């Protein structure tokens, strides 16, 4: 996993709340033997992005010229609910996203995102509204996400976000939590002997 | 011997930690299981939690094995891991190689990965294949006090036995395969107290749909729910599984029911449950798992089961359940702007109008199946309504949750009831719950489904889902429209 420290990018606004993982990656795209980025890019928000005949829906924000190249998704509460499919953060990463900003996340999505270096940024409702208003006014607005400072900054606004210290250290230093578990193999064996 | 000395004498295993009083404070069922599985917890780090049983399914495990191979790691505890093929399997002719090459490759990968790691796979020739959350309980693999994980959000089902069971992602599968442990932090505790006797025509499915309507689909985020109260005690294990299964739809980490005589009766003589004296000893330990008197919950919610009606969802999330006699709600009446927008979107997708009655709404397809409602009692309930009658919908799929369930139904002649009524009697699998295997609802069609999710596109692109109980599903199949099962059960 690459270290993720601070970066600046533009925002794709998708303000609906409760966007579930069946919408993020519809079921029929899930079948894969190993992570398949081309398929995941096609799958992302597929049924909201395309008509049944495959033509793009012009009004969907991802299809708007002003939002091409966005690396930050700004979305409504309880993002990633329902299915725990890890293909949801994979598809976002494969499509160039590095962070998702919302007022809340579903638990498995949040954990899957952190495990893959996609940063879930939980901000207060007021900050989310302010950022949405700013992006609506100026779609190319540059937004900086500063993980060490746990802060989102844009011209005219800023918001802090929480993250547990372990996840933060893993992301900033590019650590893999599996190494932490493997490091404790001895303790795990001792635990197994007590049962 | 004092209680503390006794705890020390028997060590720090699950048994000791489950004893009331060890540690000196009143604990919930959840706390006891958590404490008994915490390998270590260092300041500034999440806890290392030991996993007793790891379930693998075809749709999510292959990339995890690739990850293991890339790192040169092997499976630490193959005997604590079991595998099944459920999501992608054809329910018409599972033994024939699947026509879709990717599906074929996924199934073959599951076989090769299990064989290579020495993991027991419940394949189609085992006589025990089925949906993971159906087979682990019926084989007695799911036991009280265990920690159980699976890369599948409905792993919460196993909480019905008083096991701490939850869904994980593919990266976590890789970690559990390599270390038999997970990194996790403690959840808050939510007490869902459900009292009163369920009225005729209502089932555990109606209870959980009503609770979801009350909590909302993010109402339990950060929590583990313990279901308590007289209505929960009165439920069969199968009903409790239905309840815990849909716990995830409230955003909860897991759902739990304290084990009791109903649990022990279900487990006695199951293939992988302890036997004889070992079983009796296990029962003593299992009983001690119950939440201590005076243990504190962070949140509480109450539901009066006696006031319930058969429930059905009108929208595109499982929190949109209303009594089947209700009308489609008006989005304008919802509290926040976000909720109003979601409701309007849902009504557009479902092509429903505020104020119109749900009863009598056209239904094209009925799906009786899934890890929520494809066990023997579920199929019996539906068969009782269908017996000697003909369905009026275009198609009704009946997909038993496992080969064991299928055989039990056939031994009772239920398959004949379904076939005579005009239903399709299929081989076990997830089928139309997720439409991964080719069983789909056509775009724009309405399906009454006993599964757990009515999200846009869940049962196929453009498919419209009404979630309901097996009774409501059967009654609607007989009417060709949304129907109150009480009209058929009286
Ligand atoms: S039946 Fe449906 S919810 Fe259950 S495991 Fe299969 S796909 Fe998932």
Number of domains in chain A: 1
What is the CA(B87)–ligand 1 centre distance, in A? 7
Contact state of A16 with B167 under an 8 Å Cβ cutoff: no
* A1 found inside a domain: no
Strands A143-146 and A6-9: antiparallel
Q: What is the predicted pLDDT for the residue at B5?
A: 34
Report the residue of A49, A82, A132, A172 to disrupt the B interface, i.e. the one with the largest count of B CBs within 10 Å. Answer: A82
Residue A43 is assigned to a structural domain of this protein: yes
Q: Strands B147-150 and B53-57: what pairing?
A: parallel
> Judging by DSSP bridges, how do beta strands B223-228 and B254-256 pair with one another?
parallel
C-alpha B298 – ligand 1 centre gap (Å): 30
In angstroms, the Cα distances linking A58 to B232, B267, B326 are 50, 56, 37
CA distances (Å), origin B239, targets A123, A127, B92, B165, B358? 39, 43, 28, 17, 25
Residue A92 contacts residue A24 (beta carbons within 8 Å): yes
Using alpha carbons, select from B332, B325, B321 the residue that is nearest to residue B354: B332
Residues in chain A where the model's pLDDT stays below 70: 1-3
Chain A residues with CB under 8 Å of B434 CB are 27
Which atom in ligand 1 lies closest to the alpha carbon of residue B133? 5
Q: Is residue A157 part of a domain?
A: yes
CA diameter of chain A: 62
- Flag if B153 and A83 touch (Cβ within 8 Å): yes
Mean pLDDT per 10-residue section of chain B, whose length is 490 residues: 34 40 79 98 96 95 94 97 95 90 94 97 97 98 98 97 97 98 97 98 98 97 98 98 98 98 97 97 98 97 98 98 98 92 97 98 98 98 98 98 98 98 98 94 98 97 98 98 91
Task: State the best of B169, B319, B339, B429 to mutate against chain A, taking most chain A CBs within 10 Å.
Answer: B169
CB contact under 8 A, B105 and A177: no
A-proximal residues of B, 309-368, CB under 8 Å:
317, 338-339, 341-342, 345
B96, with CB counted inside 10 A (0-12, 13-18, 19+), is: exposed
Q: Which residues of B touch A20 (CB under 8 A)?
A: 317, 453, 455
Enumerate residues 6+ apart whose C-beta is below 8 A from B70.
none
Q: How far is A174 from chain B (nearest CA, A)?
A: 15
CA A88 to ligand 1 center in whole angstroms: 17
Q: What's residue A3's pLDDT?
A: 64
What does the pLDDT read at residue A2? 59
| pLDDT confidence of residue B6 | 31
Distance (Å) of CA A137 to CA A13, A66, A128, B110, B327: 12, 12, 14, 50, 40
Which ligand 1 atom lies nearest to the CA of residue B372? 4
- CB contacts < 8 A (A, B): 169
Ligand 1: lining residues by beta carbon, under 6 Å: B 86-87, 131, 133, 152, 154, 370-371, 430, 433-434, 451-452
Q: Is B86 touching A (CB cutoff 8 A)?
A: no
Q: How distant is the Cα of A89 from the closest Cα of chain B, in angstroms?
A: 10
| φ, ψ for residue A156, nearest 5 deg | 95, 0
* CA nearest ligand 1 atom 4, residue: B371
Q: Residue B182 is encoded by which pair of tokens?
A: 């997970």
User: Residue B127 burial by CB count (10 A; 0-12/13-18/19+): exposed, middle or buried?
Assistant: exposed
Task: Locate the ligand 1 atom nearest the alpha carbon of residue B86 and give its number.
Answer: 6
CATH number of A154's domain: 3.20.19.10
What is this model's ipTM? Answer: 0.96
Chain position carrying tokens 């950060």: B222
Q: Closest ligand 1 atom to the C-alpha of B401? A: 1
**Interface contact B58, partner A, CB < 8 A:** no
A49 is a domain residue: yes
Of B454, B445, B450, the closest CA to residue B473 belongs to: B450
Domain residues for A159?
6-193
Q: Is B442 in the A-facing interface, judged by CB distances under 8 Å? A: no
Report the alpha-carbon distance of residue B475 to residue B368 in Å, rounded: 12
Distance from CA of B390 to the nearest CA of A (A): 32
Residue written as token pair 């949304």: B482
Which residue's CA is minimally distant from atom 5 of ligand 1? B371
From the list B13, B102, B178, the residue facing A194 with the nearest CB is B13
Residue of chain A whose alpha carbon sits nearest to that of B338: A17
| Contact indicator for B107, B76 with CB cutoff of 8 Å | no
How far apart (Å, rounded) are the C-alpha atoms in residues B436 and B139?
Answer: 25
- Residue-by-residue DSSP string for chain A: -----EEEE-EEEE--S--BHHHHS-GGG---SS--HHHHHHHTTHHHHB-TTS-B-TTSGGGSGGGTT--EEEE-SSBTBS---THHHHHHHHTT--EEEES-B-HHHHHHHHHHTPEEEE--HHHHHHHHHHHHH-TT--EEEETTTTEEEETTEEEE----HHHHHHHHHT--HHHHHHHTHHHHHHHHHT-
């Amino acid at each position: 996993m690459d270290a993720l420290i601070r970066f600046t990018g533009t925002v794709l606004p998708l303000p609906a709340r409760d966007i579930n993982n069946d919408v993020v990656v519809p079921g029929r795209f899930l079948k894969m033997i190993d992570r398949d980025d081309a398929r995941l890019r096609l799958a992302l928000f597929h049924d909201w992005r395309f008509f049944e005949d495959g033509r793009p829906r012009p009004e969907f924000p991802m299809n708007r010229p002003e939002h091409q190249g966005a690396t930050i998704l700004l979305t409504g509460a309880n993002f990633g609910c329902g299915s725990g499919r890890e293909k949801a953060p994979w598809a976002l990463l494969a499509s160039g996203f590095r962070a998702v900003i919302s007022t809340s996340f579903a638990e498995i999505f949040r954990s899957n995102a952190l495990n893959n270096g996609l940063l879930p940024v939980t901000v207060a409702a007021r900050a989310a509204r302010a950022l949405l208003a700013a992006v609506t006014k100026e779609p190319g607005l540059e937004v900086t996400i500063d993980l060490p400072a746990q802060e989102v900054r844009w011209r005219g606004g800023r918001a802090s976000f929480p993250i547990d210290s372990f996840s933060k250290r893993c992301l900033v230093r590019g650590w893999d939590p599996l190494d932490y578990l493997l490091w404790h193999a001895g303790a795990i064996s001792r635990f197994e002997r007590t049962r | 011997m004092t209680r503390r000395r006794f705890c020390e004498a028997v060590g720090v295993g699950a048994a000791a930690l489950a004893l009331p009083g060890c540690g000196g404070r009143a604990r919930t069922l959840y706390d006891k299981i958590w404490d008994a599985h915490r390998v270590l917890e260092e300041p500034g780090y999440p806890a290392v939690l030991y996993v007793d049983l790891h379930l693998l399914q075809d749709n999510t495990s292959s990339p995890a094995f690739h990850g293991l191979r890339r790192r040169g790691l092997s499976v630490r505890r193959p005997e604590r891991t079991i595998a099944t093929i459920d999501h992608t399997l054809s329910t018409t002719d599972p033994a024939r190689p699947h026509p879709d090459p990717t599906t074929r490759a996924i199934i073959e990968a599951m076989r090769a990965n299990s064989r290579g790691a020495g993991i027991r796979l419940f394949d189609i020739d085992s006589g025990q294949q089925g949906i993971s959350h159906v087979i682990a309980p019926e084989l007695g693999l799911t036991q009280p006090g265990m920690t159980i994980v699976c890369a599948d959000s409905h792993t919460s089902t196993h909480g019905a036995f008083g096991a701490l069971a939850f869904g994980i992602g593919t990266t976590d599968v890789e970690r559990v395969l390599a270390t038999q442990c997970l990194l996790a932090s403690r959840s808050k505790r939510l007490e869902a107290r459900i009292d009163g006797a369920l009225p005729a025509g209502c089932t555990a499915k109606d209870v959980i749909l009503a609770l979801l309507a009350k909590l909302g689909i993010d109402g339990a985020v950060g929590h583990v729910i313990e279901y308590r109260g007289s209505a929960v005690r009165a439920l069969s294990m199968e009903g409790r599984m239905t309840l815990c299964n849909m716990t995830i739809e409230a955003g909860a980490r897991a759902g739990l029911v304290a084990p009791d005589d109903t649990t022990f009766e279900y487990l006695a003589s199951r293939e992988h449950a302890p036997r004889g004296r070992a079983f009796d000893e296990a029962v003593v330990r299992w009983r001690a798992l119950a939440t201590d008197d005076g243990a504190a919950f962070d949140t509480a919610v109450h539901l009066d089961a006696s006031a319930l009606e058969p429930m059905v969802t009108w929208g595109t999330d499982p929190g949109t359940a209303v009594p089947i006699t209700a009308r489609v709600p008006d989005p304008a009446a919802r509290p926040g702007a976000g909720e109003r927008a979601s409701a309007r979107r849902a009504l557009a997708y479902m092509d429903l109008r505020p104020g119109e009655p749900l009863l009598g709404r056209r239904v094209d397809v009925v799906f009786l199946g899934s890890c929520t409602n494809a066990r023997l009692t579920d199929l019996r309930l539906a068969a009782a309504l269908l017996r000697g009658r003909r369905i009026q919908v275009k198609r009704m799929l009946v997909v038993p949750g496992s080969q064991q369930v299928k055989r039990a139904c056939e031994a009772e002649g239920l398959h004949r009831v379904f076939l005579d009524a005009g239903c399709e009697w299929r081989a076990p699998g997830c089928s139309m719950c997720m439409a991964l295997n080719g069983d789909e609802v056509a775009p724009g069609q309405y399906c009454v489904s006993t599964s757990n999710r009515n999200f846009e596109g869940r049962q196929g692109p453009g498919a419209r889902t009404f979630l309901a109980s097996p009774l409501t599903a059967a009654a609607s199949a007989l009417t060709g429209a949304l129907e109150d099962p009480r009209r058929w059960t009286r």
